[in-house]
Structure 1
Amino acid sequence: MTLQISDDNRVRTLVLDRPEALNAFNEELYLATATALRDAADDPEVAVVLLTGAGRAFSAGNDLKEMQARIEDSSLSSQGSHFSTMINALTELSKPLICAVNGVGLGIGTTILGYADLVFMSASARLKCPFTSLGVAPEAASSYLLPQLVGRQNAAWLLLSSEWVDAAEAQRMGIAWKVCEPDDLLPEARRHAEILASRSIPSLVAVKQTMVAPYRPGIAAATELENAQFMELLGGAANAAALAEFTGQGKA
C-alpha cells in the first residue's frame, strides 16, 4: 500500500506512505490518491479530507527514477500518466482539503498545496519547486495557482529559483496558513478539520464550489500550456543532465 486511508468524525485522512522514497509520487501513488479523493467526494459521511505524509517527508515530488525510465522507454511515455488523473481529482474535489506538511515538500509536494483550502506546516518543514534545476516547466497549474495564492513575485521566486523556502517564509508568502511545532502539527490540523466537519456538508460543498469555480478555466488553460512546455523540455539537454546526476547518486 502506498496510501493509508482512515476515517474519524467525518474527516477522511490520507497519508502518503512511501517513506523509503520520501513519499515521492510514482504512478501507483498518483492513481491511489486520485481514487481516494474521488471516493471521499462521493461518500456522504465524509465532510473534509486531510492529507499528510508518513515519516520525515510530506512528499519529495515526482519519482525521478520513474521519470527517467519513461524518457528512455517510448512505450511508457506514450501511455500518459496518472499525474493528470490526480490533478483532475484535486481540481474537482467538492469538499474542503486540508494539507498538513510534516516535512519536505518538493515539486508536487509543493504545487499540490495550490489546491488546498487550508495548509498547516511543521516548523521544520521546507518547500521547493525544482523545475529550473531539473530543466523542465512548471506542473499542476502552479504557474496559475501560485500567483493567485502568494502574489506574482513570491510565485516567481518559487518557480524560477529552485531554492528552498522554510516554513516561516512559506507562511509570510501565504502558502502556509499556520505553522506548528512538529508534535503539534497533526493535532492542530485535525482540530481545525473537525471544526469544519461539524458543519453541514451541503453547505461546505456550496462554499467550496463558489470559491473555486472561477479558477477552473485558468487551471485548465495553465495545465494545457504547462504540459506542452513540459513535454518539449523533458529529455532535453538540461533535463537529461539533471536526471543523470540525480540517478547517478543513487537517491530514491
Structure 2
Amino acid sequence: MTLLVADDRRVRTLTLDRPEALNAFNEELYDATADALLAAAQDPDVAVVLLTGSGRAFSAGTDLLEMHKIATDPDFPRGRHGFIGLIDALVDFPKPLVVAVNGLGLGIGATILGFADLGFMADGARLKCPFTSLGVAPEAASSYLFPALVGRQNAAWALLSSEWISASEAREMGLVKQVCAPEDLLTTARRHAEALAAKPISSLVAVKRTMTEPHRDAIRAARDRENAAFAELMGGPANLEALAAFAEGREPDFTRLPPGW
C-alpha cells in the first residue's frame, strides 16, 4: 500500500506512504492519490482533505528510476491516471485541500502547493522545483499558479534555479500559511482542517468554486503547455544526462550537450 487513508470529523487524511523512496510518486502512487481525491470529492461525509507524508519526506516528486524506465522503454506499463490524471483530479477537486509538508518536497512535492487552499510546513522542511536540473519543463500548472501565488520574481527563481527553498522562505513568499515545529505540524494542520470541516460542505464547495473558477481555463492552458514542453524535453539529451547521472550517483554535466541543449 502506497497511500494511507483515514477519516475523522469529516476530514479525510491522505498520507503518502513510500518512506523508503522518500514518498516519491511512482505510477501506483499517482493512481492511488488520484483515486482518493476523486472518491473524497464524491463522498458526502468528507468536507476537507488533508494531505501529508510519512517518514522524513513529504514527497521526493516523481520516482526518477521509474521515469528513466518510462523514458527509455516504450512498453513500460503505465498507470490508469498517472501524473496527468493526478493533476486533473487536483484541478477539479471541489473541496478544501490542506497540505502539511512534513519534510523534503521536490517536484510535485512542491508544486502541489499551488493547489492547496491551506499549506503548512515543518520548520525543517525544504522545497525544490528541480526542472532545469532534470532537463525538463515545469509541471502541475506551476508556471501559472506560482507567479499568481508568490509573484513573478519568486516564481522565476523557484522554477528556473532548481535551488532549495526553506520553510521560512516559503512562508515569506506566500506558498504556505504557517511554519510549525515538526511535532506541531499535523496538530496545527488538522486544527485548521477541522475548523473548515465544521462548516456546511455545500458552502465550502461554493466558496472554493467562486475562488477557483475564474482561473480554471488558465490553469488548464498552462498544464497543456507544460505537458507539451515536458513531452518534448523528456528523453532529450539534457534529460537523459540528468537521469543517467542520478542512476550513477553523480552530478549531471550539461556542458557536454549539443548546442541549444
Q: Helix, strand or coil for the counterpart of 2:52?
A: strand
Structure 1 residue ranges, 4+ long, deviating more than 3 angstroms after superposition? 76-81
Cα distance, 1:38 vs structure 2: 0.8
The alignment status of 1:139 with 2:139, answered yes or no, reads yes
Cα distance, 1:229 vs structure 2: 0.7
TM-score, normalised relative to structure 1: 0.97
The 8 Å contact of residues 2 and 18 in structure 1, kept in 2 or not, is answered as: yes
The alignment status of 1:186 with 2:210, answered yes or no, reads no
Match of 2:257 in 1: none
Report the Cα distance in structure 2 between the residues aligned to 1:97 and 1:80, rounded to whole angstroms: 23
> How many residues align structurally?
250
Report the Cα distance in structure 2 between the residues aligned to 1:243 and 1:77, rounded to whole angstroms: 19
Match of 1:71 in 2: 71
Q: Name the stretch that deviates more: 67-76 or 43-52.
A: 67-76
Match of 2:176 in 1: 176
The 8 Å contact of residues 49 and 98 in structure 1, kept in 2 or not, is answered as: yes
The 8 Å contact of residues 71 and 77 in structure 1, kept in 2 or not, is answered as: no
**Structure 2 segments unaligned to the other structure (5+ residues):** 251-261
Identical counterparts, % of pairs? 65
Match of 1:115 in 2: 115
The 8 Å contact of residues 31 and 79 in structure 2, kept in 1 or not, is answered as: no
**Structure 1 segments unaligned to the other structure (5+ residues):** none
Sort the Cα spacing of 1:80 and 1:10 in 2 relative to 1 into closer, same or farther, 3 A.
Answer: closer
TM-score, normalised relative to structure 2: 0.93
The 8 Å contact of residues 102 and 121 in structure 2, kept in 1 or not, is answered as: yes
Q: Helix, strand or coil for the counterpart of 1:5?
A: strand
Q: Helix, strand or coil for the counterpart of 2:75?
A: helix
Report the Cα distance in structure 1 between the residues aligned to 2:88 and 2:158, rounded to whole angstroms: 23
What are the residue-to-residue correspondences of 1:83-102 with 2, within 5 Å? 83-102=83-102
Amino acid of the residue matched to residue 241 of structure 2?
A
Match of 2:149 in 1: 149
Q: Helix, strand or coil for the counterpart of 2:226?
A: helix
- How far does the alpha carbon of each residue in 1:168-206 deviate from its partner, in whole angstroms, 9 at most, with x for none? 000000001000000000000000100000001100000
Report the Cα distance in structure 2 between the residues aligned to 1:79 and 1:29, rounded to whole angstroms: 9
Q: Helix, strand or coil for the counterpart of 1:7?
A: strand
Amino acid of the residue matched to residue 242 of structure 1?
A
Aligned Cα root-mean-square deviation (Å): 1.4
Amino acid of the residue matched to residue 108 of structure 1?
I
